Amino acid sequence: MTQVGVNGYGTIGKRVADAVAAQPDMDLVGVAKTRPNFEAETAARKGYPLYAAIPERMDQFAEAGLDLAGEVEDLVADSDVVVDCTPSGIGAENRSLYAEHDTPAIFQGGEDADVAEVSFNARANFEDAVGANSARVVSCNTTGLSRILAPLDETYGVEKARVTLVRRGGDPGQTGRGPIDDILPDPVTIPSHHGPDVNTIFPDLDIDTLGMKVPATLMHTHSVNVTLESSPDADEVRDLFADETRLFLIPSGADIDGSGKLKEFAHDAGRPRGDLWENCIWSESLTVEDRDLYLFQAIHQESDVVPENVDAVRALRGDDDAAESRATTEESMGIGIDY
Ligand code: NAD
C-alpha cells in the first residue's frame, strides 16, 4: 500500500484526500491544515488524521477541540508520496521540505512548470512521470484540453488548435473573487497562459488560446477549433470520444443547456459535492467542416484534476501501466457517465 499525505486541504486537497482514501492500493496518511476551520472539522469527522501546516498554530486546533496527529513535517516523513494542494506559489516554497525527507511530491497547476521534473496528464503523458521524483498535475483547463487533444492527435493528427476559454471568475467558496458584473478579456494579451501550459504536455503542438473571465462560479466553458490532418466525419469523432472514459458527451435530448444544469445533473446522479470529473462535451456542438473540428465543452474546475493526481501517485511510485492505473482510479471513484 502506498502511503499518501495531502498537504493543503482546500478545494483540490479535500477532493484528492477522498480519492486517495478510495483507492485499493493507497492509504491516506493524513491531511495538513493551516487553520481549524470547517474544512478541518470535516476532515476530522471523516477520520482523516490532521497535521498542523503551521506548527506555531497547534494550540488553535486544541482550542477548537480538534486532535492533531502531528505537524506537517511528520506527515511528509510518514508518506511515500505527498500531494501538495496548497495555493499557487506555496507549493514551490514547500519543495525543500519534501526534498529534506526524500519524499516524492506532486504539485498542482497553479505552480510554474519548473516546480517539478514533469508536467502530467494521465491520458497524454503518464509514461513521462514513471519513477520521477516530482510531477505537476496541470491546471483544470489544461487537463480538459489534453484529454481531447491526445485522442485527436493519435487518431487524426492535429495541425493547429485554437481555443477560447470562458473562465469562471472564482470557485463557489471564493467569496472575494470577481468579476461581479463584467466580462473581462483575461489576459487581454494573446495567447493566454493556457496554450503554453498545454505545450508542457504536447511540446510540438501548435495551439493559440484566448482567455475571458465572467461572473460565474460553476464551471469553465471552452470554445474549441482544431484543424486536423485528416477529415473524419463528426460521428467518427463522437465514437472516438465515446471510448474515452474521462469524456462525457452530453446527449442532445438531455436538455442540459449550460453549467447550471450540468451541476444539477451531477447532484441528481449523487456525485460527491456535485463533482464532474469528466470533460462535458455538448455532442450537438461537435462539427467537422473539411479538416476543422469545432466543439463546446464545460470543465468542472474543482474536480477534473483529482483523478489525475491519483494516477500521478502511481506513476511516481514507478507503476508503468497507465491504462490499469486509470481504470483503477475510475472504478474506485465512480468515474464515467453512462447516460
Ligand atoms: P484553496 O485555497 O481552495 O486551498 C488551498 C488550501 O491550502 C487552503 O485550505 C489553505 O488554507 C491551505 N494552505 C495555505 N497555505 C498553506 C501551507 N503553507 N501549508 C499547507 N496548507 C496551506 O486552493 P485550491 O483551489 O485548492 O488550489 C490549490 C492548487 O490547485 C493551486 O495550485 C491551484 O492553482 C490548483 N488548482 C485549482 C483549481 C480550482 O479551480 N480550484 C483547479 C485546478 C488546479
CA of 108 to the centre of ligand 1 (A): 8
Residues 120 and 40 in one domain: yes
Residues 273 and 225 in one domain: yes
Residue 338: the pLDDT is 86
Whether 280 is catalytic = no
Residues 276 and 315 in one domain: no
Which range marks the domain in which residue 269 is found? 140-299
Tell me, yes or no, whether 228 lies in a domain. yes
Residues 121 and 186 in one domain: no
Candidate of 6, 11, 41, 221 to mutate for ligand 1, largest count of ligand atoms within 8 Å of Cβ: 11
Residue 280: the pLDDT is 98
CA of 241 to the centre of ligand 1 (A): 31
Please state the domain count of the chain. Answer: 2
Instruction: State the closest ligand 1 atom to the C-alpha of 140, by its place in the atom list counted from 1.
Output: 43
CA of 304 to the centre of ligand 1 (A): 15
Residues flanking ligand 1, CB < 6 Å: 7-13, 32, 34, 53, 85-88, 90, 108-111, 139-140, 171, 301-302, 305
Tell me, yes or no, whether 338 lies in a domain. no
Residues 26 and 57 in one domain: yes
CATH of the domain at 283: 3.30.360.10
Tell me, yes or no, whether 18 lies in a domain. yes
Residues 86 and 200 in one domain: no
Residues 186 and 231 in one domain: yes
- Under 8 Å between Cβ of 31 and 72: no
Tell me, yes or no, whether 46 lies in a domain. yes
Largest Cα separation within the chain, whole Å, is 66
Given the residues 29, 140, 266, 315, the one annotated as active site: 140
Residue 234: the pLDDT is 98
Residue 111: the pLDDT is 98
- Under 8 Å between Cβ of 273 and 138: no
Whose CA is closest to atom 33 on ligand 1? 110
Tell me, yes or no, whether 101 lies in a domain. yes
Candidate of 71, 108, 112 to mutate for ligand 1, largest count of ligand atoms within 8 Å of Cβ: 108
CA of 242 to the centre of ligand 1 (A): 32
Residues 218 and 248 in one domain: yes
Residues 30 and 175 in one domain: no
In this structure, is the dihedral angle defined by the CA atoms of residues 91, 96, 100 and 104, taken in order, positive or negative?
A: positive
Residues 312 and 288 in one domain: no
Tell me, yes or no, whether 86 lies in a domain. yes
Whose CA is closest to atom 32 on ligand 1? 110
CATH of the domain at 58: 3.40.50.720
52 vs 71: CA distance, rounded Å: 4
Candidate of 12, 58, 96, 276 to mutate for ligand 1, largest count of ligand atoms within 8 Å of Cβ: 12
Per-residue pLDDT of the chain (339 residues; tens, 9 = 90+): 999 999 999 999 999 999 999 999 999 999 999 999 999 999 999 999 999 999 999 999 999 999 999 999 999 999 999 999 999 999 999 999 999 999 999 999 999 999 999 999 999 999 999 999 999 999 999 999 999 999 999 999 999 999 999 999 999 999 999 999 999 999 999 999 999 999 999 999 999 999 999 999 999 999 999 999 999 999 999 999 999 999 999 999 999 999 999 999 999 999 999 999 999 999 999 999 999 999 999 999 999 999 999 999 999 999 999 999 999 999 999 999 988
Dihedral angle, C-alpha 145, 147, 148, 151, nearest 10 °: 140
Residues 180 and 311 in one domain: no
Tell me, yes or no, whether 12 lies in a domain. yes
Residues 121 and 27 in one domain: yes
99 vs 110: CA distance, rounded Å: 20
Tell me, yes or no, whether 74 lies in a domain. yes
Strand, coil or helix: 161: strand
